[in-house]
Amino acid sequence: MILVFVEIEGDAIKKSSQEALTYGADLASKTNDTCAAIGIGSADVLGDLGQYGAKSTFAVNGAGLDTFTPEGYSHAIHEVAHSNNANTIIVSGSYTGKSIAPKLAVKLNAALSTGVVAMVSTDAGFSVRKTCFSNKAFTRVSVNSEKKVISIVPNSYEVKAFDNHADVTVVSVDASSTIKTKSVSVDKVQGKIPLTEAELVVSAGRGLKGPENWGMIEELADVLGAATACSKPVSDMDWRPHSEHVGQTGITIKPNLYIAAGISGAIQHLAGVSSSKVICVINTDPEAPFFKAADYGIVGDAFDVIPKLIARAKELKAG
Amino acid sequence: MNILVCLSAVPDTTTKITFTDNDTKFNTDGVQFIINPYDELALTKALEITEANGGEVTVISVGEASIDPVIRKALAIGAHKAVRIDTAAKDGMHVAQSIKQAIEGQSYDLILTGRESIDYNGGQVAGLLSELMDMSLVNVVTSIEIDGSSVTAVRDIDGGRETVSASMPCVLSAQKELCEPRIPNMRGIMQARTKPLEVVAPSGDYTQTDYVGYELPPAKEGVKLIDAANAEELIDLLRSEKKLL
Ligand SMILES: Cc1cc2nc3c(=O)[nH]c(=O)nc-3n(C[C@H](O)[C@H](O)[C@H](O)COP(=O)(O)OP(=O)(O)OC[C@H]3O[C@@H](n4cnc5c(N)ncnc54)[C@H](O)[C@@H]3O)c2cc1C
C-alpha cells in the first residue's frame, strides 16, 4: 500500500496534498499497488478523497493529535502504515511534511527522498528525480530499500481528477505519551497566498528603491491573484518581510509565472526561482543577467512598466 | 548547556555547477567550500546561547580531510571544539546515523542544524536526529529562547509562524532571521589553530540511496523582448502564448 499524508486547511485538503495524492495514485498504478490517504482529523472534513486518486482514506484522531506536533503526527501515521503494511509513504514538502518525513523514515526503516520533483522511474530499479544545489541542478537518486518515504516539492506535480470513491475508515490512536512539544500560538498572515503554493508570483528587488514603492507590486499581485516575493537585500533591509525572500538562502519556488521587477538576477537569486515555468523580467539595464533566464523581458523602468501591466490586467479582468 | 552544531561544508553560493564522469559526479575543481549558510546561523545562535547560559559548543561534521579548513573557520567563529567523522557524506541518513554513533555516551541539551544544506537540499538531518536520539524537534526556526529546562522557538509554517514550546534535549534547525551570522576576527582565527579538532573513524555505512546522475536545468529558449512603450502587451502574451492569467 502507498499511503499519502494529506493536510487539512480550513475545511479542505491543501493543494500541495492534492498534488501528493495524485502522485501516490499515479505511482500506485505504475507499480500495481493501491493508494490510500491518511489525514489527522475528522472523517467529515476529509470527506471523499476519491476524486484526488485515493482508493480509501484513514481519518485518524485521538489524544495528543489535536494540534500538529512532529512526534504526535509521525507516531499516528506510522501506526496506520505499520498495521496496513504500507511500503511507501508520500508527503508534500510543506513545512509540516518536512518535519514528519525524516521521523517516519526512521520509524519504518525506510529510505528517505526529499525534494522530489517528478514521478518515480522504475526503468532500472526504483529512482526519483530531485533538485540539488538549490535548484541549480537535478539529480537522479536510486532508492535501495524496500520501504520508502518520499516528499514532493509543492507545485511540481499536477493535480488530476480521478473517478474513484474512497471510503473513510476512522482510526483512533493515542499519541499522548509521545508528545514532547506544544504549540503556544499560531500567527498566520491572513488572506495571503502562501508563497510556496502560489501559482503566480510578482517579485521585486533593490531596483524599487524603497519600501514605500511596493504599493504597485502589491496592486499588480492583487489583480493577477498572485503572491508577492522579493530579493535578499530587500528583506535584509526590512523593506519586506523575510518570509518573502526567495533564492538560494530563502524560499525556493516554482510557480507557473514569476514576474521580477528591479532584480538583477544574481546566481543566488536565480537558484530559488529558475524552476518557474514562465519568467518575466523588468529591468532598466539591458545587461542584467536575469534576462538570460527569462522567457519575456522588458528593458524599462519598473515605475513606468508596472502601472501599465496593472492597467491592462484590470481591463481584461473587467472583460 | 552543551550544544552540538551539525555543520556541512558546501560549495560557495557563487559556484557555477558542473559535473564530470559522464554527469555522475559533481565537479569540485576550483570550487571554494564554505560553511553551509544555515549552519552558520545555527553556530552563531549556539554561541549566543552559551554566552548567556554558560556551556560549550561542539561542532560536528561528516566529511573528508579536505573540509578541515571549513571546520577551522567554525572554531574561529567561536565553537569550543570540533569533531570530524572521516568519511564523505553520502545522504541524510548516513550523516545522521554517523553523528548519532559518534556522540554516543555524550549528552547535549540542544542539537542545532541548518534547515537544509544548500548543496543537496535534503532538510533531513534535524528530523532524523530527533527521531534517532528520541529528542524533541522544532524545525525551521527563526527564534530560540531557553527557559529553564524547556525551549521556546518560533518556527515557519505554511503562510505564517508558530511559537512552540519543546522539552530538552531538543533538536532545532536554523532558518534565516534566527540571528546575524558572525564573522571570525583575528583573535578567533589565532585561537582556532589550537582548539581541538578530533577526527573519528566512520562507524558504518547507513546509506539507502545512491546519487546516480546529474543534469542541469534545460536552457531557456531565449528571451522575447517587449518594447517598454507597449509594456502592457506582456499581459496579452502571457494569455495568448502561455495560457496564463
Ligand atoms: C551567501 C549568499 C547568499 C545569497 N542568497 C540570496 C538569495 O537567496 N536570494 C537573493 O535574491 N539574493 C541572494 N544573495 C544576494 C545576491 O548575490 C544579490 O546581491 C541579490 O540577489 C541582488 O538583489 P537585487 O537584484 O534586488 O539588487 P541589485 O543587485 O542591486 O539589483 C537591482 C536591479 O534593479 C535594476 N533597476 C534599478 N532601478 C530600476 C528601475 N527603476 N526599474 C527596473 N529595474 C531597475 C538594476 O538594473 C539592477 O539590475 C546572496 C548572496 C550571498 C553572498
Position A146 pLDDT exceeds 90: yes
> What are the grid coordinates assigned to A171, written together?
482510526
- Give the long-range contacts of residues B233-239, CB within 8 A, separation 24 or more: B234/A280, B234/A296, B234/A298, B234/A309, B234/A312, B235/A309, B235/A312, B235/A313, B235/A316, B236/A312, B236/A316, B237/A296, B238/A257, B238/A278, B238/A280, B238/A296, B239/A316
Evaluated on CA atoms A28, A33, A37, A43, the torsion sign reads positive
Selection from A53, A102, A114, A104 nearest residue A77 by Cα? A104
pLDDT at A16: 95
Taking the CA of residue A127 and the nearest CA in chain B, the distance in Å comes to: 9
Which carries the bigger pLDDT value, residue A299 or residue A11?
Answer: A299
Selection from A88, A131, A95 nearest residue A111 by Cα? A88
pLDDT at A231: 98
Q: What's the DSSP call for residue A108? A: H
Is-cis flag, bond preceding A102, omega within 30? no
> What are the grid coordinates assigned to A148, written together?
520508502
Q: What's the DSSP call for residue A246? A: B
Selection from B149, A136, B122 nearest residue B139 by Cα? B122
pLDDT at B128: 98
Helix H segments across B2-144?
37-53, 68-77, 92-102, 125-132
Taking the CA of residue B194 and the nearest CA in chain A, the distance in Å comes to: 32
Residues of chain B contacting residue A291, judged by C-beta atoms under 8 Å apart: 223
Taking CB atoms and an 8 Å limit, are B214 and A312 in contact across chains?
A: no
Task: Give the nearest partner residue to B215 out of A137, A280, A300, using CB atoms.
Answer: A137
Task: Give the nearest partner residue to A257 out of B92, B232, B244, using CB atoms.
Answer: B244
pLDDT at A10: 82
Q: What is the CA(A269)–ligand 1 centre distance, in A? A: 7
Selection from B159, B141, B127, B122 nearest residue A7 by Cα? B159
**Alpha-carbon distance A292 to A215, whole Å?**
28
Nearest-by-CA chain A residue for B15: A267
For chain A, the residue count is 319
Which are the contacts of B120, defined by CB distance < 8 A and separation ≥ 6? A132, A139, B91, B92
Specify the residue with its C-alpha closest to ligand 1, atom 26: A205
**Which amino acid does the sequence have at A18?**
Q
Helix (H, G, I), strand (E, B) or coil at A298: strand
Q: What is the CA(B179)–ligand 1 centre distance, in A? A: 21
- The domains of chain B are located at 2-219
| Band of pLDDT at residue A192, cut at 50, 70 and 90 | confident
Q: What is the mean pLDDT of residues A253-279?
A: 95
Task: Give the nearest partner residue to B123 out of A70, A98, A197, using CB atoms.
Answer: A98
pLDDT at A188: 86
Cβ–Cβ contacts within 10 Å for residue A170, how many?
A: 12
Residues A214 and A102 sit within 8 Å (Cβ to Cβ):
no
| Band of pLDDT at residue A134, cut at 50, 70 and 90 | confident
Q: Is A282 in the pocket of ligand 1 (CB under 6 A)?
A: yes
- pLDDT (tens digit, 9 = 90+) per residue, A30-51? 999 999 999 999 899 898 999 9
Alpha carbon A239 to chain centroid, angstroms: 25
**Alpha-carbon distance A139 to B26, whole Å?**
10
Under CATH, which number does the domain B2-219 receive?
3.40.50.620
**Which amino acid does the sequence have at B47?**
L
Residues B116 and B123 sit within 8 Å (Cβ to Cβ):
yes
Taking the CA of residue A167 and the nearest CA in chain B, the distance in Å comes to: 28
pLDDT at B221: 84
Residue in the structure block whose three cell numbers are 510556496 = A196
Taking the CA of residue B52 and the nearest CA in chain A, the distance in Å comes to: 23
Residues B62 and B78 sit within 8 Å (Cβ to Cβ):
no
Residue in the structure block whose three cell numbers are 502601472 = A307
Q: What is the CA(B234)–ligand 1 centre distance, in A? A: 23
Task: Give the nearest partner residue to B121 out of A107, A131, A256, using CB atoms.
Answer: A131
Residue spans of chain B under pLDDT 50: none
Residues A163 and A54 sit within 8 Å (Cβ to Cβ):
no
Calculate what percentage of chain A has a pLDDT beyond 70.
100
> What are the grid coordinates assigned to B140, written together?
525551521
Residue among B12, B13, B40 whose CB has most ligand 1 atoms within 8 A, to mutate: B13
Q: What is the ipTM of this complex?
A: 0.95
> What are the grid coordinates assigned to B215, written together?
543534469
> What are the grid coordinates assigned to A256, written together?
507557473
Phi, psi of B120 (to 5 degrees): -100, -5
**Alpha-carbon distance B226 to B209, whole Å?**
46
Nearest-by-CA chain A residue for B120: A132
Task: Give the nearest partner residue to A294 out of B160, B220, B235, using CB atoms.
Answer: B220
Domains of chain A: 2-178 (3.40.50.620), 195-318 (3.40.50.1220)
Q: Is A291 in the pocket of ligand 1 (CB under 6 A)?
A: no
Residue among A134, A214, A245, A264 whose CB has most ligand 1 atoms within 8 A, to mutate: A264
- pLDDT (tens digit, 9 = 90+) per residue, A250-261? 888 999 999 999
Taking CB atoms and an 8 Å limit, are B216 and A136 in contact across chains?
A: yes
Residues of chain B contacting residue A194, judged by C-beta atoms under 8 Å apart: 158-159
Position A193 pLDDT exceeds 80: no
Q: What is the mean pLDDT of chain A?
A: 95
Taking CB atoms and an 8 Å limit, are A311 and B232 in contact across chains?
A: yes
Which contiguous run of DSSP H or E holds residue A36?
Answer: strand A35-40
pLDDT at A276: 94
Q: Is B219 exposed, middle or buried (0-12, 13-18, 19+ CB in 10 A)?
A: exposed
* Ligand 1 atom with minimal separation from the A204 CA: 26
**Alpha-carbon distance A35 to A28, whole Å?**
6
Q: What is the CA(B75)–ligand 1 centre distance, in A? A: 31
Q: What is the mean pLDDT of residues A222-242?
A: 96
* Opening angle at CA A99, ends B49 and B170, nearest 5: 30
Q: Is B37 in the pocket of ligand 1 (CB under 6 A)?
A: yes
Position A70 pLDDT exceeds 80: yes
Which are the contacts of A24, defined by CB distance < 8 A and separation ≥ 6? A2, A3, A4, A35, A37, A53, A54, A88, A90
pLDDT at A4: 98
pLDDT at B158: 87
**Alpha-carbon distance B238 to A299, whole Å?**
17
- pLDDT (tens digit, 9 = 90+) per residue, A85-99? 999 999 999 999 999
Q: Is B148 exposed, middle or buried (0-12, 13-18, 19+ CB in 10 A)?
A: exposed
